[in-house]
Amino acid sequence: MGKTLKLTVKLKACKRCHAIVPAHMKVCPKCGSTEFGTIEGMVVVFDPERSVIAKLLKINAKGIYAQRVRDR
């Protein structure tokens, strides 16, 4: 059955910690930053201790993050 998953929630990413949050959020739930940008690529971090990407992006918790955050 080819059901397509539709993204109904608009998302944006925190410029400081790269967390992906719903577009209506005013403050980042992870770091408290109020600066957001457009998501450019997504990264799923399972093991932040060993992930090279997690180190590059300074991520220290499991989750889905924006690879890059672009200015709007």
User: Which residue, chain included where needed, has tokens 């998953």?
Assistant: 5
Q: How far is the CB of 33 from Zn ion (least distance, A)?
A: 4
Three-state secondary-structure class, residue 39: strand
Interface with Zn ion (CB under 5 A), residue from 31, 53, 56, 61: 31
What is the rounded CA–CA span in Å between residue 35 and residue 16? 7
Closest to Zn ion by CB, 16 or 68: 16
CA 12 to chain CA centroid, nearest Å: 7
Interface with Zn ion (CB under 5 A), residue from 33, 34, 38, 60: 33
Query: Which stretches of the chain bind Zn ion, using CB under 5 A?
Result: 14, 16-17, 19, 28, 30-31, 33
